[in-house]
Amino acid sequence: MTLLHHKAPTRKGKVLSPGRISMLSYAALILLGAMLLLLPASTEQGHLGFIDALFTSASAVCVTGLSVVDTASTFTFFGKAVLMMLIQAGGIGIMVLSTMFLLTLGKRVGMTGRQMLSDTYSYGQGKNVYALVKEILIFTFIIELIGTALMLPDFLYRFPVGKAICYAAFHSVSAFCNAGFSLFPDSFTRYGGNWLINLDICFLIITGGIGFIVMAEIRQKFSFSKRCWSKFSLHTRLTLTATLILLAGSTLLFFILEWSNTLRDLPPHTKFLASFFQAVNTRTAGFNTLDIGSLANETLFISILLMFVGTAPGSCGGGVKVTTISSLAILGYSRFRGQEHPHIFYRRVSDASISKAVSLIIISMLVIVIGVVLLQQTEIGNVSHNLTRGSFLEIFYEVVSAFGTVGLSTGITSGFSEIGKLIIICIMFIGRLGPMGIAIAVSRKGKPSKFSYAQENIMIG
């Protein structure tokens, strides 16, 4: 049969699942990136250690932005170009790039590839895979080109032409892919009062973090008519609403909590701009215009919650996703009102969606707890709490930042031991592919049960 020609790679006679293929593809890309970064042509001076090269490559492919070396001074032009390509590949998705390569060769995309693309980037059914891939790539490069053009005038004023173009392109790709890698040692703190640069970076991050399908639906269905909102799918409406609430709420919280701290010496309009910039970046990207290590404890805790939530499904960002948190919030609100089924916008949220949301939250919290405990052991050891005050919050912040592929740091990343760096690499990898995707990829499907047990209630609460 012709279907035999489209089977995925097998192991012990079994067809590999899309989850496993995705996991192996990202792992291969990380190793390839590490090998390229180990080349003498990639670094300015000396030789980059394997663990540091692997960490940097994993951070780039997983679009995290955590770094154990200074990107600007450590890497040559070639090394920075490798980083940008790794970020781009990780942001768009290795399957999209490999599919386009197959199309270039005139080959057909296999059934496994179609399923993976549909699961990753398509909310509905019936979307043509080839049209979808083309739409994603065109959308990505147009947005990145716009971002580059908006940054270029300011960079041309500060740098030579060639360097200005490279810097603008690198930061545009890094921002849209929600990576947070910067060629400036202090990230964007030097641009804290520059409205154009700040809003351009935020525009790139939001468009990259809102999801390809949401942006495509907006482009296709948006109009100035009163019924425009009702034409959008529940997924799009929920994503946009949750994103707006999170941006507005977190901006206000940053503004209030840091008013007398990191914002103290800034003009009022710059205080608002800095609060908005941090609110946008905390959920996904990792750029900063304020010193993260100087933030108040309560601000760091709010940041941890925002990093855990993350962005929208099918986007470049990480976290458990806004629709996941929104589903549980809707469920809780419905139960509080005594309603049996959760609903919003005159639509009922399916039981399957709620079940997936609960499972994803549980797995994610488990990954974070394990990561924090392991790093406490490797970086601190069995030391009295009185001798390590503040270390728990910093390590907790670092782990959630890695899991949410955010990249913000209190400044302790470079000081981790090699084992600690490997732990962070694993957390970034899990966070990029999704904890549920990892669980499905490494699990084996059991035989369906021929019977079910008797049901009995237990006391809750």
DSSP assignment of 428-439 equals HHHHHH-HHHHH
| Cβ-contact 3, 425 below 8 angstroms | no
Task: Give the angle subtended at the CA of 114 by the CAs of 109 and 117, to the nearest 5°.
Answer: 120
Name the token pair of 88: 């781009």
What value does the mean pLDDT take over residues 31-51? 89
Q: Cα–Cα distance between 340 and 342 in angstroms, integer? A: 7
Q: Cα–Cα distance between 447 and 119 in angstroms, integer? A: 24
Q: Cα–Cα distance between 390 and 294 in angstroms, integer? A: 12
Q: DSSP readout, 280-297?
A: HHHTTT---SS-GGGS-H
Compare 33 and 221 and report the one with higher pLDDT. 33
Q: Which of 311, 425, 381, 407 is nearest to 52 (CA)?
A: 425
Under DSSP, the state recorded for 191 is G
Confidence of residue 200 (pLDDT cuts 50, 70, 90): very high
End-to-end CA, the chain: 56
What value does the mean pLDDT take over residues 304-332? 88
* Bridge partner list, 75: 43
Residue 381 has pLDDT above 80, yes or no: no
Name the token pair of 295: 């933030």
Q: Cα–Cα distance between 346 and 411 in angstroms, integer? A: 46
Residue 412: the pLDDT is: 87
What value does the mean pLDDT take over residues 298-317? 89
Alpha helices in 105-211 (DSSP H): 111-121, 129-158, 161-176, 195-209
User: What is the share, in percent, of the chain residues with pLDDT greater than 70?
Assistant: 84
Helix (H) or strand (E) holding 14: strand 14-15
Q: Cα–Cα distance between 205 and 453 in angstroms, integer? A: 48
* Weakest-pLDDT range from 4-8, 74-78, 203-207: 4-8
**What SS3 class is residue 119?**
helix
- Cα 297 to Cα 254, 283, 302, 339: the distances in Å are 12, 17, 9, 38
**What SS3 class is residue 245?**
helix
* Bridge partner list, 43: 75
Q: Cα–Cα distance between 177 and 208 in angstroms, integer? A: 6
What value does the mean pLDDT take over residues 260-281? 92
| Cβ-contact 214, 312 below 8 angstroms | yes
Residue 25 has pLDDT above 50, yes or no: yes
**What SS3 class is residue 10?**
strand
Q: Which of 427, 300, 297 is nearest to 372 (CA)?
A: 427
Name the token pair of 377: 């052991």
Spans of all domains in the chain: 15-221+232-438
* Weakest-pLDDT range from 8-12, 56-60, 157-161: 8-12
Confidence of residue 230 (pLDDT cuts 50, 70, 90): confident
